[in-house]
Chain A
Amino acid sequence: MSTSGLKAPMKRRALIGASALTAMALALAPVSAGAQDGERDSIRIGYAVPLTGPNATGAGITTIPNYKLWVHDVNADGGIELSALGKTLPVEVIEYDDRSSTEEAVRAIERLATQDNVDFILPTWGTGPNLATGPTFDRFGYPQLAATAVTDLAGEMANRWDKSFWMLGGGYDYAVALVDLLSEQRDAGTINNKVAVISVADGFGIDLSKAALPAFEAAGFEVVYEQSYPLGTSDFAPIINEVSGLGADTFVAFSYPPGTFALTQQSVVSGFNPKVFYLGVGTAFPVYPNIAGENVEGVMGIGGVDPDSEAIKDYFERHTEVTGNPPDSWASAVTYASLQMLQQAIERVGDVDRDAVAKELSTGTFDTILGEVKLVDNQLRSLWTVGQWQDGQFVGLAHTEREGARDPIIPKPEFKPAE
């Protein structure tokens, strides 16, 4: 083969490469120009969420459907109004899979901030990942609306990263609310003063049991059983068999799905019928009534929604219609409300100025599906803490700022095993 024969295709390849680069540059040009001057035609919102890996289930129930629903709602309305630019722009989404890894989430957020030049970044799912990505949000100056992080460190974090907002309270809030509710019931003579407490040996279970055990003892309860179990435990027969012989009217499990579901099934099969049956994360999931069947009535758990709120009712219907599934009855509504707050803050500022939007988020009052919301020290302190399945709804029994929506049903109806 001659050398000229070699050169020709090389030249052609170089030409193709050059033209491809030019085409890319041309394609990129309007976007980067648009991001700088007034010719923008969308508000770019990015997020990295676990689409695969162990966190995909949680994110797939609580976080991602609400992001999709919100974008759908905003764009169906014509977009977000930016008065400084004199126009209303639709939301454009850039989505990444963080594969349930915080390292990947951090990298994706860096990419969204530096390569994609998005206007706002929505947070990932879960307590740990939100704490881990906090410094990155802070470094690039993006507001972080952590709607699925339960942490007693919320106040400290809000001080450290002034554009971070913590929307789901801390373990202490939930544990103390539960103990208060149970104390009232005991004082009324509905339940005895023996409680059995188990917790998953993971962030959530440790936080809640650490707060609840001293609170139970301070309230004069006798903790007759207290054990933690490893994450991933699938067989709860030994625990349930032992607890059922201890005479405790109250069974509290600071559990995590799918353990929450396995505990329910095991209790039904073993005929374990405490007067109060309280479970952790997963009780408020829409799948829970399918798993528990008719035994769902009276099961208590973390979270809850206001069953008398028209806004919540409407939200449940729209969520089901747009995403195909109903929302969960704890963090879903909070997630959607956090996005409504973001939209209202942007509209009040009238621009995508992140500093001004963050300031508005921490000082403004917002009209959301949770009602009127105003953050205290960058935290949402108006929370449903204890819920119970009543008539097919996971209703709020205790709230941090107002009376509960419903009275608890105690004792809960007896579990009936399948025939």
Chain B
Amino acid sequence: MLLSALLTGLVLGGTYALIAMGLTLQYGVARIMNLAYGDFMIAAAFGAFVLFTSLGINPLLGMIAVIPAGFALSYAIYGVMLQPLARRAKHSGRLEVDSILATFGLLFVIQGVALVIFGANFVSYSYLAIPINILGTTLAANRVLALVLALALGAGLYYALTHTRWGTAIRAVAVSPQAAPLVGIDVDRVSRFAFALGGALAASGGVVVSMYLTFSATAGVVFTMKALVVVIMGGVGNLLGALAAGLILGIVETLVATYIDTGLTLAATYLIFLAILVFRPSGLFGRRPS
């Protein structure tokens, strides 16, 4: 029973982590508090849906198209909409406020386009909704896939960030956007790249989630909220933090639902959130402000 609950929780946590990793890059490195993040995921979900239902391309293959599209679109959006804000902002607080307002507008643009094209209906398709048995627990294959993907992307990106030159540059900008230019880092370019990478992660999250969650043009805000909680819990800009926080949330929600009361899952989420904010204001893996 406990093992089963832990596994179920781990799989749910995989979804949360996958959702949150892109936002942590966008917020932590590019310092864009992207309120349209969830709508970006929904756009990717619609992309996977169209590829699957009208062209018969399975969502895993569809990712090969959707993820680069997510990267390119985010890259373009940053260049057109957010770069001017970043250049004009005198300090990161200013940029945060400006980016919240700008992406709040973007949210409605994406939502509006999706409503025009797909209408307000719920959209769903089923892929890999196969029961698989892991250590005596029956789990849905598509949800397990989300966990595997979250772990793979998390580990892969963590390795890249810590072992490559551009990874080091990204971390430098995340730590100190003021000092980074002193060592020859083009902050504009790195921020733009990190934002686009976040967009690509959002797209991959959107595709995977679309395999098992029913979504609609207006559902993006739910994902943004969840991602935001995970990002802040894990420490802004910290990939491993997002991964760990996502998994912890999933496990706690499932344990609470199994052993205490299904009505308290949300309360438990926010209780942990609150506790972390009180005792570790910069998140589980966050740096303490110097």
What mask results when residues 217 to 258 of chain A are scored 1 for a CB within 8 Å of chain B, else 0? 000000000011110111101110110000000000000011
A363 close to B (CB within 8 Å): no
Cβ–Cβ < 8 Å partners of B119 in chain A: 60, 324-325
Contact pick for B122, options A261, A269, A417, A418, CB 8 Å: A261
- If A52-B112, A417-B131, A418-B130 touch, whether A57 touches B12 (CB-CB below 8 Å) is no
Q: Which of B124, B139, B253 has the most C-beta atoms of chain A within 10 angstroms of its own C-beta?
A: B124
Q: Is the CB of B138 within 8 A of A290?
A: no
Cβ–Cβ < 8 Å partners of A257 in chain B: 122, 214
Q: Is the CB of A239 within 8 A of B262?
A: yes
Contact pick for B126, options A53, A198, A237, A418, CB 8 Å: A418
Which 5 A-B pairs rank lowest in CB-CB distance, beginning with the nearest? A60-B120, A258-B214, A238-B257, A230-B266, A261-B214
Q: Is the CB of A61 within 8 A of B130?
A: no
Contact pick for B124, options A54, A241, A261, CB 8 Å: A261
Q: Is the CB of A235 within 8 A of B111?
A: no
Distance, CA A322 to CA B63, complexed state (A): 35
Report how many residues on chain B are interfacial, defined by Cβ distance under 8 Å.
45
Q: Is the CB of B213 within 8 A of A229?
A: no
Within 8 A of A (CB), among B239-290: 253-254, 257-258, 261-263, 265-266
Cβ–Cβ < 8 Å partners of B15 in chain A: 234-235
Distance, CA A269 to CA B137, complexed state (A): 11
A-B contact pairs, 9 of them (CB 8 A): A52-B112, A61-B121, A237-B11, A242-B258, A258-B122, A285-B122, A291-B124, A291-B126, A325-B121
Cβ–Cβ < 8 Å partners of A229 in chain B: 257, 262-263, 265
Q: Is the CB of A287 within 8 A of B124?
A: yes
- If A237-B12, A241-B8 touch, whether A265 touches B212 (CB-CB below 8 Å) is yes
Cβ–Cβ < 8 Å partners of B11 in chain A: 237
A372 close to B (CB within 8 Å): no
Closest chain B residue to A270, Cβ basis: B138
Q: Is the CB of A262 within 8 A of B266?
A: no
Cβ–Cβ < 8 Å partners of B12 in chain A: 235, 237
Q: Is the CB of A262 within 8 A of B213?
A: yes
- If A271-B138, A417-B129 touch, whether A227 touches B261 (CB-CB below 8 Å) is yes
B5 close to A (CB within 8 Å): yes
Within 8 A of B (CB), among A362-419: 417-419
Chain A interface bracket (under 10, 10 to 19, 20 to 34, 35 or more): 35 or more
Q: Is the CB of A57 within 8 A of B131?
A: no
Closest CB-CB distance, B129 to chain A, in whole Å?
A: 5
A93 close to B (CB within 8 Å): no
Cβ–Cβ < 8 Å partners of B212 in chain A: 262, 265
A51 close to B (CB within 8 Å): yes
Cβ–Cβ < 8 Å partners of B122 in chain A: 57, 61, 257-258, 261, 282, 285, 287, 291
Closest CB-CB distance, A272 to chain B, in whole Å?
A: 10
Q: Is the CB of A258 within 8 A of B115?
A: no
A201 close to B (CB within 8 Å): yes
Closest CB-CB distance, B141 to chain A, in whole Å?
A: 8
Closest chain B residue to A290, Cβ basis: B124
Closest chain A residue to B222, Cβ basis: A232
Distance, CA A57 to CA B120, complexed state (A): 5
Distance, CA A242 to CA B262, complexed state (A): 11
Contact pick for B216, options A57, A64, A291, A417, CB 8 Å: A57
What mask results when residues 92 to 126 of chain B are scored 1 for a CB within 8 Å of chain A, else 0? 00000000000000001001100100011111111
Distance, CA A60 to CA B128, complexed state (A): 29
Distance, CA A268 to CA B124, complexed state (A): 15
